Structure 1
Amino acid sequence: MNGSNPVNYAQAPVLAATISTDAIAARTWQAAAARVLVDRIGDFVAFGAVVCVVWAAISYALHAPDYVLPTPTEVAAALVANGGLIAGATWLTLWCTVVGIAVSVCIAVGLALLFVLSPLADRTVTPLLIAIRSIPMIAITPLVVVLFGRDRWNTIGMVALLTFFQVMLAAKRGFDAPSQSMLELMRTCGASFWQTLLKVRVPSAVPFVFTGLRLAGSSAILCAMFAEWLSGSPGLGTLMLDAYSKQNLGLMWAAVAVSTTLAYLFFTLTIALERAVLDRSGT
């Protein structure tokens, strides 16, 4: 074969072993993430079944009227009868939550990186962030409405505002986690700041960021509904208020059940994503 590169047949077993190892590793982290999803969803289904049984028993024992405590059967019937309405509200709340969390993570990681770059910024900006975080949200809701309006952008802004603090603190702690000996070793080897950041600080910060994301994700759906309650923007929160004002408690409890399930699934997906990323990176 003139003009072609010679084939090194001695490397073929090594290449095959490498490809096989990579394929096995990919299947491993995918299987770990899938196992987390299956196990946690199974636990939630079992827990939901127990709650429904206890709920039905309490309704039967107290002879509670429908306008006080509807039975699980009535809630399920309301869920089926208003499936399209609940699905639309669920999609709006979920979309705003995902976008708000994405904005929150970008701002939080950016601020944490700024604090690593500049200790002066850390000392000056962190007290301001703590002060903002300690202000009751109902006090600054009019300002948020003025800034973002009463549509879905209000919900996105509120979710980002209420969830970024946990992620920022976790990311900052992760960036500062590498030991001084490790940082000194990188400097001794002539590594620049950005090389040290990408090869040492970022891998160290990933588990911390996921911890903050879990904390933020567990309350993100509630933050979105809270924003909807205050601003009247469309979503599950507004649907619950409308159903309660019309004394349609079956629909209200159906929306509550959907929001609870959505929050649990959001939290579970965060855990599965963390497992997949950490297993794939070998952290």
Structure 2
Amino acid sequence: MSQSTLSPGVTPVSFGGAFANDESERARFVSAQRRLAWRKRLLPVVAIAGLIALWGAVVAIFDVQPFIAPSPWAVASVLVEKADILLANLVPTATEALLGFLLGNLVAIVIATAFVYSKAAEEAFFPVAVMINTIPVVAKAPILVLLLGNGMEPKIAIAALICFFPTLVNMTRGLRDVNPQALELMKVLSASPREIFWKLRVRNSLPYLFSALKIAASMSVIGAIVGEWIGSTSGIGALIIQATYNFDSPLLYATIVVGSTFSAVFFSVISMLERRLLKWNTARAN
């Protein structure tokens, strides 16, 4: 009786085969995702290892003098032997970069919001922001040192200025370029300006904001280091100057490695936050 109610060609066996096929497809999908994840992890490691091997080969083949370009092994030795000095100088640089990152991006977000709601403010002050951004960092640094003294303040200010402009541009665009249909629907539903801002404009701006934050994460470290070149006795920038004047090439390279590693870790943290907070945007990002 129950057998006769089934459609032609559909049997309990065929149902079992369909379930088996679904499980097989799911297993293949999971396996492919794992391979892709491992590929993303391994390829940068392989690329870095290849570049280090090439660096060592060039130094050995052309017999490059150590004070010009040390071998990777000499740099690794300094990283181990002078780890305490390198880490002690990383702390002020990291502090300046983080505080500058927070300050520059916060100010940029506030001004971008003002630009979106006031066209006159954007027309008046955006050209000023462009002009400030065109001034080279090495020219801004001495001015800020004269204005703010020789402490951490000018380094934080330089890092903030470097972070400011990319976030201002991206955040302004993200807040403004909302879907017109979604905006009209919010108005039809009698949403308040505050609800439109938080539920539509801010949500739309987050991918733009994180794109700017990833740029700012690296640039803030550069700003802090450049600031330390102008009259500082501690930090990665000061250690670079000291190693350069002493022709201590292994220490110079080791210092650069430490600064670059911190910048890469900072960038990775922002990328991780982006993946966790913007899961709804993952498909479009990929």
Instruction: Using structure 1 for the length normalisation, give the TM-score.
Output: 0.81
User: In the superposition, relative to structure 1, how do residues 43 and 267 fare at CA in structure 2: closer, same or farther (>3 Å)?
Assistant: farther
Determine if the alignment matches structure 1 residue 258 to structure 2 residue 262: no
User: In the superposition, relative to structure 1, how do residues 115 and 57 fare at CA in structure 2: closer, same or farther (>3 Å)?
Assistant: same
1:82-135 superposed Cα distances (whole Å, 9 cap, x missing partner): 111100111221121111111111111101111122111111110111111112
CA drift of 1:196 comes to 0.5
Structure 1 window deviating more from structure 2 (69-78 vs 197-206): it is 69-78
**Equivalent residue number for residue 171 of structure 1:** 171
Determine if contact 1:115/1:121 at 8 Å carries over to the other structure. Answer: yes
**Equivalent residues, number:** 249
For structure 2, list consecutive stretches of 5 or more residues without a partner in the other structure.
1-32
**Equivalent residue number for residue 274 of structure 1:** 274
Structure number with higher relative contact order (C-alpha < 8 Å, ≥ 6 residues apart): 1
Determine if the alignment matches structure 1 residue 131 to structure 2 residue 143: no
**Equivalent residue number for residue 212 of structure 1:** 212
Q: Distance in 2 between matches of 1:263 and 1:44?
A: 16
Determine if the alignment matches structure 1 residue 111 to structure 2 residue 111: yes
Determine if contact 2:109/2:168 at 8 Å carries over to the other structure. Answer: yes
For structure 1, list consecutive stretches of 5 or more residues without a partner in the other structure.
1-31
Q: Distance in 2 between matches of 1:52 and 1:132?
A: 38
Q: Distance in 2 between matches of 1:140 and 1:159?
A: 11
- Counterpart residue identity of residue 225, structure 2: M
**Equivalent residue number for residue 245 of structure 1:** 245
Determine if contact 1:40/1:268 at 8 Å carries over to the other structure. Answer: no
**Equivalent residue number for residue 152 of structure 2:** 152
Superposed CA RMSD in Å reads 2.2
1:182-230 superposed Cα distances (whole Å, 9 cap, x missing partner): 2222222221211100110010011110011112223222222111113
- Counterpart residue identity of residue 236, structure 2: L
User: In the superposition, relative to structure 1, how do residues 152 and 233 fare at CA in structure 2: closer, same or farther (>3 Å)?
Assistant: farther
Determine if the alignment matches structure 1 residue 190 to structure 2 residue 220: no
Q: Distance in 2 between matches of 1:117 and 1:180?
A: 16
Determine if contact 2:207/2:281 at 8 Å carries over to the other structure. Answer: no
User: In the superposition, relative to structure 1, how do residues 237 and 39 fare at CA in structure 2: closer, same or farther (>3 Å)?
Assistant: farther
Q: Distance in 1 between matches of 2:174 and 2:94?
A: 28
**Equivalent residue number for residue 162 of structure 1:** 162
**Equivalent residue number for residue 93 of structure 1:** 93
Determine if contact 1:166/1:216 at 8 Å carries over to the other structure. Answer: yes
- Counterpart residue identity of residue 193, structure 1: P
**Equivalent residue number for residue 224 of structure 1:** 224
Secondary structure of 1:168's partner?
helix
User: In the superposition, relative to structure 1, how do residues 73 and 63 fare at CA in structure 2: closer, same or farther (>3 Å)?
Assistant: same
Q: Distance in 1 between matches of 2:199 and 2:261?
A: 38
CA drift of 1:179 comes to 2.4
1:48-90 superposed Cα distances (whole Å, 9 cap, x missing partner): 3212211111111111121122111111111112111100111
- What does 1:22-101 correspond to in 2, within 5 Å? 42-101=42-101
Q: Distance in 1 between matches of 2:45 and 2:155?
A: 29
- Give the greater-gyration-radius structure (CA): 2
Determine if contact 1:154/1:231 at 8 Å carries over to the other structure. Answer: no
Determine if contact 2:141/2:226 at 8 Å carries over to the other structure. Answer: no
Instruction: Using structure 2 for the length normalisation, give the TM-score.
Output: 0.80
Determine if contact 2:167/2:213 at 8 Å carries over to the other structure. Answer: yes
